[in-house]
Structure 1
Amino acid sequence: MALLGVLTPFVWDASATPPTATAATGTQSSSTFGAAAAGEQSGPWAEDGYRPRPGQWQPYVLAPTGRTVKPVSVLSADPRGGEIKGDPKAALGGGDSPVRLVSKGDRTLSPLLTLDFGKNVGGTVKVRVSGASETPPELHVCFSESQLYAAFDPEDNNGQAAHAPGCDTANIWNGYPGVPYTYDNDSHTLEIDPANLPATLTDTQLRGAFRYATLFLDGEGWVDVDGVSLDFGAVPKAENPAAYDGWFLSSDNELNKIWYAGAYTVQLNTWMSNTAKKWPYEPGEADHADAQVPHADPNEAVIFDGGKRDRIVWQGDLAVQAPVAYLSTDDVPAVENSLSSLAAQQLPDGYVPAASLVGQHNQNELRVYGEYVTWFIHNLYTHWLYTGDQEYVERWWPQLTRATAWLEGVRADDPKGLISFQEVGSCGHYGYSDCGHETYINALYARNLEQMARLARVTGHKADASGYASRAAAVKDAINEELWDEETGAYRLSREIPGAYPQDANATAVLTGVADDEQATRALDYLRRNSWGPYGAYTVSPSTPNASIRPFYEPLPSWFETSARLEATDSSGEVDNSALDLMRTFWGHQLSQDPGSTFWEKADPSGNPGIKQFTSLAHGWASGPTVALTTQVLGVQPTGPGYSSYAIVPNTGDLTWAQGEVPTPHGNISASWRAGRDGVVLKATAPSGTVGRLAVPTRGERVSVTLDGRTVWDGSRAVGGARASSDGEFVYVDAVGAGHHVLRSHLG
């Protein structure tokens, strides 16, 4: 939206598509953003038809290079019942004279000056005030992640505009969709001392995620403003937030932007552990984010679920956020602090609460989410796999065994051997309300048991490993016996609701190895035919007869489906782009909307944020493509603890090349591949202390393969003593030592 005239009323069409991060107007006011600075006229975030160039990944980074960030433009200047004197762009700083905001009454008559930071940011706002009336009005700052839910018109956000104009809703329950907004608990007040002006006023409270900041006044008087900035508070331990340890780049500009938006989303959720939100607020209480996460190290950061809200640590969100952190910023301390804080909350019977117990709201949900106990086990296993920190796993081994025992105790109540959380009252679910024997929950548990079997072997509990492994097989058998619908070719939601075939059930059955190759193919085909909509993949088919199971777009199971499609075996030779198409459709849609730089908590069937103004638009569990693009498209995955062994198995799809680096405890692994008419060339460099499996796709053709110029596969068998094999989809070469290697396939 262009800068409005100084005395032109604010006009905004709520039906219009919000501008993206590339549509900001005005002058560039800060050099602290990385090469992807909003307001730039070239580069991947601003240039139509931008073509990625090998090695040029830094222009995609959205994080700032320093801690001072300035707005890039004035979005709007609306005098309403007051006046705006001077050029509103003076608020961007660097001008010869300030802009004067004049109020002739309370906040309902105040002028509104809205500044655009060009992308989602977070921290504490600073406003330079050069002068004010003898008795100045209160100066407030309102925040919003998008224009769509910035409350400017009286009906916006259930009446929020009358109390906090320009804000979206970050606090529970005042202003939750469908709940009247009755008092201002979202704007922040900056105290003006007229005897000490000019002065830079610093907000006493942070705001975790916003793109737009609106200045307004409460009371008669005037205030002169000649600069606004932000102390960027996310990733507090990083001297340079834009200095990534890992990176990804490919021939597809949109997929590249998706990778970096995911990484930045997790960065915007990484804060010091004493900046949580303690809910519920008392009526009239102002916004604040200054609670300590229980059991977390107060000197270290944690990773919250969302920057705006909830601002607590959640088990399920960490399942996505932790791998993103490992693969981009390598922020292992923040992951460990988060995991430890949750592990320390375990209850005596083994149940692990889903989220940080900050405030009464979270205490009230103490035993709601049985599903998240499975994520607790998964997260500690994943941490061991990526970091190789066996000491950390051994520290929490008693908690792992008790959590597994709690889940097993729930399963033991079912004669068919499946978990249901009905009797223990822990049926909370991210997507739908079902206390039945779900495919999704039981598939996650089967994976937990396999993970525990592997951990038992390395922690000195080998005698327990076989028991975990045998129970895993039993759970998988029970899922296939009870929940696979052979006629439909898909997994049922649950035993109790057999007529629904949701996304999470079918994707996790593939990912966890519950489904065999034929079942995986049929299940994913069912989802593609029945559950895809204009903005991505629905949680359940719109044709589902059960009226209580409504379709919408959810990023967590959409990541499951994306990953399952990349993992599913296909030796037909046909290039399967369904996973890349899903990324481009669902996550690409989010980047085409406000704030155009981070990913959403959820979306409704119309493609809008799923819980309206309350939706977090920088929500870490939506960052799954960052993981999939590195581990499954570039193809670099740990197979042994801390990448002591690793695999590089690229999924090329319709891409012509990809490259990147992955941080490991031994040093970075570098990988690149290029697909051409004659085959695929994979180049890899790995540090000492690692051993790898390298692979190239066959695309259904007979291929010969060379490693460092020596033939290791002649089209049908290994030669020259090489440890090479093929499953029809790839040719693999094992026991590849440290150093630089080139694996090349040759068609014909």
Structure 2
Amino acid sequence: MSRHRTRKTALTVAIGAALAAILPVGPAAPSAVAAAPATHPSGPWTDSTYQPRPGDWRPYVLAPAGHVVTPVSVLSADPRGGAVQGDPKAALGGSATPVRLVSDGDRTQSPLLTLDFGKEVGGKIAVHLAGASTTPPTLHVCFSESRQFAATTPQANSGEAGYAPGCDTANIWTGYPGVTYGYDADSHTLSLDPSKLPGSVTDRQIRGGFRYATLFLDGPGWVDVDGVSLDFDAVPKQADPAGYQGWFLSSDNELNKIWYAGAYTVQMDTWMSDTAKSWPYAAGEPDHADSQVPYADPDQEVIFDGAKRDRIVWQGDLAIQAPVTYLSTGDLAAVDNSLSSLSAQQLSDGYVPAESLVGRHNEDEIRTYGEYVTWFVHNHYEHWLYTGDRAYLDRWWPSLTKAMTWLESVRGQDPQGLIAFAASGSCGHYGYSDCGHETYVNALYARNLDEMAELARARGAAPDAATYAARSMALKQAINDQLWDATTGAYRLSRETPGVYPQDANATAVLAGVADAGQAQRAMDYLHRNNWSGYGSLTVSPSAPKSAIGPMYEPLPSGFEASARLAVPDSTGDTQASGLQLMRTFWGYMLSKDPGSTWWEKADAAGDPGISQFTSLAHGWASGPTVTLTDQVLGVTPTGAGFAGYAVVPHPAGLTWAQGSVPTPHGAIAVSWQALPQGFQLHATTPSGTSGRLAVPTRGKRVSVRLDGRLVWDGSHAVGGAHVTSDGQYVYMDGVRAGHHVAHAQNL
């Protein structure tokens, strides 16, 4: 859907044991415990008093261990004008007596039996029937990601309840808010033959994302239901979807759940490449998702933007989903296939379409989104950084340089040196449309220039690297000269809209290195004072003059803001702590609502899904905190291709401990840290073939630091020739070789 209109195994026992062994222990430290048992009578998702235990990360994993799941409860059983005979719980299986649904023939008065799978799921549903009337009614299943938008009243979802009771909608042409619902475009029909019962009837079509499934009947007769299950078709190449390669755990239960909900959201968006949606549907056409993503390997997965819809690959969404995948499941084939399919769509002038060109609707948007060309470049940079796949980089290097040539040609049209997409007709964004000379898109392009300089150096093209670096410096200066408002202390939306200071502009200026330390602090302070509201941080202040961006909650730039807050040099810790508070507020709020396991596409100012029943509630671009918690809070980032170089720079932000494992091409990097009353302790185990930086935060104090028991920093200077420096916020130890290391900072 147009963004301006709507929007591999498990870790080895050895690694787990190593992490348990390196967890700091002592009078103030939590005790290390063994890995969690296979079953949990209570856990973080069901017990409000649950306390995280070091080493015990598996209870947080939402993904199933296999590819068959069953509902966990009956949400409701409503006879309406028919009957529900027997115990509705029989539909969960294991009962000697089935539940009978009886209809008088009027589908608008059919009994409704709604089952709750307990979390977002997707695939092909199967209903086991013990029997049916000689002439059976047609059995339908409706799906919804939430109770709020499961159509059950005549007015719901623009009249959907009269056709598809219990459904939200995945079809823009019949179910978009405000469009009258004129035919059943969303329920799935299960064909049954009474002569073959008892037996299961299985849906012929997948339903990409739902939590609730509602059975209803069309026509007179009855069916006896004694079981419902789902072939879980997300992540089909992952034999054990719960077998994560990477993980995160901290002293904060809510943040832990946020990490795993982000990982699960991306898994819910990962499907075979021939399960895309092709819009528009013809009048009367039922819901289906069986189109091939152009240029994608049909035998491999791709990562769609949303599980329910759009079910196509988008550049901007992939910018979040790819690093989440690198850090959790390690499903690199899905990332490669997705990115390659988008890359192959590049036009002759270098412009790269934002989305998979599946169907007329998407083909009509071929040049809509100039912003997404910057994400195309960024996605390839991130791929190289996390995977170190030089052959993949070399394959697509000509496409990257062509895309940069197109972006630079757009910038060259402005005598003042900024990009605007009016002339190219590409003004669409992730959530709005604006043709001005904006901070947001220019900051993204400045980051591209830095990334291309690094990639060019890695490929031995020093002159090209110098050109990109010089352009980056000039562009950052132009942004600051024209778009920084020193009086307000924030970046403007654009030259054309100077009195609006949006979230995306200020967060990306920090993350792209446009803002210096003082500007970064002031920009974050501005957003906190003006944009923070009941559910998180709004796109613009409610008091801002009317602009292209209305006040709403957008998970994509909210993720940028949370990351930017942790990136601000902060002697007091308040700004970095506010990054975690933003996560708890906004993502914690989404967790408190349906589907309670995956992230929304957007939310309006009232805190409701931003486009009502059409909103995707399993949208991977909202999973930014999963990356931020690993990269910044745990502190593990690649600094060289494929983690050949790495940095471990923790951002405690008020947490008392954190630990985790980061998969790399060389093996896992295992990290554990603890904030102690009189200092800080960091443990890291890194694989052969890597070297890097370890850092301990000073928290505004003068500290001495020992590395593996040897004094390397005396509070002011490096000791014994150690490669150690400090900027007042951290003490950095460089050139650390592979192996197990302990760094301990002691307050002086």
TM-score range, shorter chain: over 0.9
1:378 and 2:378 correspond: yes
Q: What is the Cα deviation at residue 461 of structure 1?
A: 2.8
1:488 matched to which residue of 2?
488
Equivalent positions of 1:605-644 (< 5 A) are 605-644=605-644
Q: For residues 304 and 641 of structure 2, what CA distance do their matches in structure 1 show?
A: 26
Gap change, CA 1:36 and 1:99, over 3 Å in 2: farther
Q: For residues 523 and 717 of structure 1, what CA distance do their matches in structure 2 show?
A: 33
1:140 matched to which residue of 2?
140
Letter aligned with residue 466 of structure 1: A
Spell out, residue by residue over 1:374-399, the C-alpha distance to the aligned partner (whole angstroms, 9 max, x if none).
00000000000000001101000110
Q: What is the Cα deviation at residue 200 of structure 1?
A: 0.7
Q: For residues 627 and 547 of structure 1, what CA distance do their matches in structure 2 show?
A: 31
2:129 matched to which residue of 1?
129
Q: For residues 37 and 159 of structure 2, what CA distance do their matches in structure 1 show?
A: 36
Q: What is the Cα deviation at residue 36 of structure 1?
A: 11
Q: Aligned-residue CA RMSD in angstroms?
A: 1.3
Letter aligned with residue 98 of structure 1: P
- Range moving further from structure 2, 454-463 or 371-380: 454-463
2:3 matched to which residue of 1?
none
2:178 matched to which residue of 1?
178
Q: What is the Cα deviation at residue 550 of structure 1?
A: 1.6
CA contact (8 A) 1:36 1:60 kept: no
Gap change, CA 1:608 and 1:189, over 3 Å in 2: same
2:451 matched to which residue of 1?
451
2:707 matched to which residue of 1?
707
Q: For residues 528 and 84 of structure 2, what CA distance do their matches in structure 1 show?
A: 54
Q: For residues 597 and 644 of structure 2, what CA distance do their matches in structure 1 show?
A: 34
CA contact (8 A) 2:565 2:575 kept: no
2:654 matched to which residue of 1?
654
SS of match in other structure, 1:690: strand
SS of match in other structure, 2:688: coil
CA contact (8 A) 1:36 1:61 kept: no
Spell out, residue by residue over 1:582-606, the C-alpha distance to the aligned partner (whole angstroms, 9 max, x if none).
0000000000111111110000111
Structure 2 alignment gaps of length 5 or more: 1-34
Equivalent positions of 1:519-668 (< 5 A) are 519-546=519-546, 548-572=548-572, 576-668=576-668
Q: What is the Cα deviation at residue 41 of structure 1?
A: 5.0
Q: For residues 616 and 97 of structure 1, what CA distance do their matches in structure 2 show?
A: 37
Q: What is the Cα deviation at residue 324 of structure 1?
A: 0.2
Q: What is the Cα deviation at residue 627 of structure 1?
A: 0.2
Q: For residues 259 and 549 of structure 2, what CA distance do their matches in structure 1 show?
A: 31
Spell out, residue by residue over 1:50-87, the C-alpha distance to the aligned partner (whole angstroms, 9 max, x if none).
11000000000000001110000000000001011111
Q: For residues 36 and 88 of structure 2, what CA distance do their matches in structure 1 show?
A: 27
2:43 matched to which residue of 1?
43
Equivalent positions of 1:305-384 (< 5 A) are 305-384=305-384
Percent sequence identity over aligned pairs: 70
Spell out, residue by residue over 1:106-146, the C-alpha distance to the aligned partner (whole angstroms, 9 max, x if none).
21011000000001101110011121111111000000000
SS of match in other structure, 1:588: helix
Spell out, residue by residue over 1:217-274, the C-alpha distance to the aligned partner (whole angstroms, 9 max, x if none).
0001111111100000011101100000000000000000000000000000000000
CA contact (8 A) 2:566 2:575 kept: no
Letter aligned with residue 732 of structure 1: Y
CA contact (8 A) 2:114 2:213 kept: yes
1:717 matched to which residue of 2?
717
CA contact (8 A) 1:133 1:222 kept: yes
Q: What is the Cα deviation at residue 547 of structure 1?
A: 5.4
Q: For residues 459 and 92 of structure 1, what CA distance do their matches in structure 2 show?
A: 58
- Range moving further from structure 2, 659-668 or 456-465: 456-465
Spell out, residue by residue over 1:328-353, the C-alpha distance to the aligned partner (whole angstroms, 9 max, x if none).
00111100000000000000110000
Q: For residues 573 and 62 of structure 1, what CA distance do their matches in structure 2 show?
A: 32
- Range moving further from structure 2, 100-109 or 49-58: 100-109
Letter aligned with residue 445 of structure 1: Y
CA contact (8 A) 2:497 2:547 kept: no
Q: What is the Cα deviation at residue 35 of structure 1?
A: 8.1
Letter aligned with residue 504 of structure 1: D
Q: What is the Cα deviation at residue 430 of structure 1?
A: 2.3
Q: For residues 738 and 264 of structure 1, what CA distance do their matches in structure 2 show?
A: 31
CA contact (8 A) 1:371 1:441 kept: yes
Spell out, residue by residue over 1:728-748, the C-alpha distance to the aligned partner (whole angstroms, 9 max, x if none).
100000000001000010001
1:3 matched to which residue of 2?
none
Q: For residues 48 and 540 of structure 2, what CA distance do their matches in structure 1 show?
A: 35
Q: For residues 107 and 725 of structure 1, what CA distance do their matches in structure 2 show?
A: 73
SS of match in other structure, 2:165: coil
Q: What is the Cα deviation at residue 549 of structure 1?
A: 3.7
Spell out, residue by residue over 1:540-590, the C-alpha distance to the aligned partner (whole angstroms, 9 max, x if none).
111102255420000110011011111111234667410010000000000
Gap change, CA 1:210 and 1:573, over 3 Å in 2: closer
2:14 matched to which residue of 1?
none
Q: For residues 87 and 415 of structure 2, what CA distance do their matches in structure 1 show?
A: 74
Q: What is the Cα deviation at residue 196 of structure 1?
A: 1.4
1:26 matched to which residue of 2?
none
Which structure exhibits the higher relative contact order, with contacts defined as CA atoms closer than 8 Å and separated by 6 or more residues?
A: 2
SS of match in other structure, 1:221: strand
1:75 matched to which residue of 2?
75
Letter aligned with residue 277 of structure 1: K
2:17 matched to which residue of 1?
none
Q: For residues 315 and 195 of structure 2, what CA distance do their matches in structure 1 show?
A: 50
Gap change, CA 1:231 and 1:507, over 3 Å in 2: same
1:104 matched to which residue of 2?
104
Letter aligned with residue 531 of structure 2: S
CA contact (8 A) 1:122 1:268 kept: yes
CA contact (8 A) 1:120 1:595 kept: yes
Letter aligned with residue 648 of structure 1: V
2:23 matched to which residue of 1?
none
Gap change, CA 1:597 and 1:574, over 3 Å in 2: closer
Structure 1 alignment gaps of length 5 or more: 1-33
1:23 matched to which residue of 2?
none
Q: For residues 441 and 616 of structure 2, what CA distance do their matches in structure 1 show?
A: 25
- Range moving further from structure 2, 454-463 or 340-349: 454-463
- Range moving further from structure 2, 546-555 or 575-584: 546-555
Equivalent positions of 1:121-270 (< 5 A) are 121-270=121-270
Letter aligned with residue 653 of structure 2: G
Q: For residues 74 and 444 of structure 1, what CA distance do their matches in structure 2 show?
A: 47
Q: For residues 508 and 53 of structure 1, what CA distance do their matches in structure 2 show?
A: 35
Q: For residues 583 and 484 of structure 2, what CA distance do their matches in structure 1 show?
A: 27
Letter aligned with residue 690 of structure 2: T
Letter aligned with residue 336 of structure 2: E
SS of match in other structure, 1:383: helix
Q: For residues 432 and 186 of structure 1, what CA distance do their matches in structure 2 show?
A: 27
Spell out, residue by residue over 1:627-682, the C-alpha distance to the aligned partner (whole angstroms, 9 max, x if none).
00000000000000000010000010111000000000000000000001111100
1:16 matched to which residue of 2?
none
Gap change, CA 1:575 and 1:321, over 3 Å in 2: closer
Spell out, residue by residue over 1:408-443, the C-alpha distance to the aligned partner (whole angstroms, 9 max, x if none).
011000000100000110001223331000000000
Q: For residues 197 and 546 of structure 2, what CA distance do their matches in structure 1 show?
A: 64
Letter aligned with residue 634 of structure 2: L
| Alignment size in residue pairs | 714
Q: For residues 283 and 518 of structure 2, what CA distance do their matches in structure 1 show?
A: 56
TM-score of the two chains, using structure 1 as the length reference: 0.94
Q: What is the Cα deviation at residue 457 of structure 1?
A: 1.5
Q: For residues 217 and 533 of structure 1, what CA distance do their matches in structure 2 show?
A: 44
Letter aligned with residue 490 of structure 2: A
2:19 matched to which residue of 1?
none
Equivalent positions of 1:687-702 (< 5 A) are 687-702=687-702
1:505 matched to which residue of 2?
505
Q: For residues 591 and 549 of structure 2, what CA distance do their matches in structure 1 show?
A: 28
Spell out, residue by residue over 1:284-311, the C-alpha distance to the aligned partner (whole angstroms, 9 max, x if none).
0011100000000011100000000000
